[in-house]
Structure 1
């Protein structure tokens, strides 16, 4: 049996809000006394851009991660840990790296997307003599924004016509004549409530194959001087019988309300 490190959080959900304290224990399990050169715990958070063959031409290859959180604490000075199971308690504040900087948005919510990745981790390290490799343990935790007061309703009502939409896909035939009325009860919506509204076709010169609603996450990542933003769009896609496609989109803000 070899010496091992494990990070256990007191909060089973591992979900925290900015300003809270992350508490738990680091468990050291060893068959005998273990000498070490110090134990440290680091809380890290960053926005990373995930390059792939699909997006490598869309983003700069030199885009660096945006550092949101970097807090380090010493768990134990150099010394000896007895054999068996030893639990070392810790508390580490969850504060943004640039919390006092003007205009800094604070910690962003944990997000694992296609191109953008926002992740928070605890990393524990035990330094040992040059004859023994250092021991490391990691544990991911999750950051969420605090619940807000119920949002102010912001309804949207509009007519969708050939003059108001952008065409895409389908055939090269002229765009058909149509008038579609769309109504969204609110473009600001709590996450635990449905997004509601109605769509009415007033006139159309050709048959309609389908009308689709698409809630889309738009991933936006800045550089070392900027910040990632969370954006959503509601797209209304009208597909006519000949597969001619027209779309209209509306920015949507989703909030965690009380």
Structure 2
């Protein structure tokens, strides 16, 4: 049994106001029943503290608790059955709902030495207490409009020009 998330764009690059589309692909040797299929979309900023720039307490931990910048759950299917073989279940979601006042600030995906901004989509096929849930995760990339980006997190400030 396996599950995989395939995004519609092979490069996995999206802008904050775009629709993200894809398929959840299951490969099963026998049919299974499930209690729902949910897609969780999470984004976080992770800061790593290095010895020279950290305070005494922070240097003990090495990593500051991640800061969540996006947390969204999309119900793809209600409870039911998935047949044996390969099944493709389509999904789509808006990163930033059209017409809604933006509560989240989207930053570009970034993986550096001291900071990481990561966007993940995870699927969870819940199968009840007696069976292990099936899950998969894929990272996608957020690319913002050209301009100036600024992140101010507590006492840390990062500035970059695109």
Measured against the shorter chain, the TM-score band is: 0.7 to 0.9
Which structure: greater helix fraction?
A: 2
Q: TM-score, normalised by structure 2?
A: 0.82
Partner of 2:9: 11
2: distance between equivalents of 1:50 and 1:42? 25
2: distance between equivalents of 1:53 and 1:227? 15
Change (3 A) 1:33 1:20: same
Over residues 107-157 of structure 1, what are the superposed CA-to-partner deviations in whole Å (9 max), with x where a residue is unaligned? Answer: 011111111110000000011122211111000000111246xxxxxxxxx
Query: Contact (CA 8 Å) 2:36, 2:78: kept in 1 or not?
Result: yes
Once the two structures are TM-superposed, the CA of residue 58 in structure 1 deviates from its matched residue by: 7.1
- Unpaired runs of at least 5, structure 2: none
Pairing partner for 1:37 from 35, 38, 53: 35
2: distance between equivalents of 1:68 and 1:100? 12
Partner of 2:133: 134
Partner of 2:46: 48
Q: TM-score, normalised by structure 1?
A: 0.53
Partner of 1:88: 89
Partner of 1:209: none
Over residues 146-181 of structure 1, what are the superposed CA-to-partner deviations in whole Å (9 max), with x where a residue is unaligned? Answer: 246xxxxxxxxxxxxxxxxxxxxxxxxxxxxxxxxx
Query: Contact (CA 8 Å) 1:116, 1:221: kept in 2 or not?
Result: no
Once the two structures are TM-superposed, the CA of residue 50 in structure 1 deviates from its matched residue by: 2.3
Over residues 21-63 of structure 1, what are the superposed CA-to-partner deviations in whole Å (9 max), with x where a residue is unaligned? Answer: 1100000110111111111001111101124556553784594
Change (3 A) 1:220 1:20: closer
CA RMSD of aligned residues (A): 2.9
Asked which structure has the greater CA Rg, the reply is: 1
1: distance between equivalents of 2:23 and 2:157? 32
Once the two structures are TM-superposed, the CA of residue 5 in structure 1 deviates from its matched residue by: 0.7
2: distance between equivalents of 1:25 and 1:11? 11
- Unpaired runs of at least 5, structure 1: 149-187, 189-218, 232-253
Query: Contact (CA 8 Å) 1:49, 1:221: kept in 2 or not?
Result: no
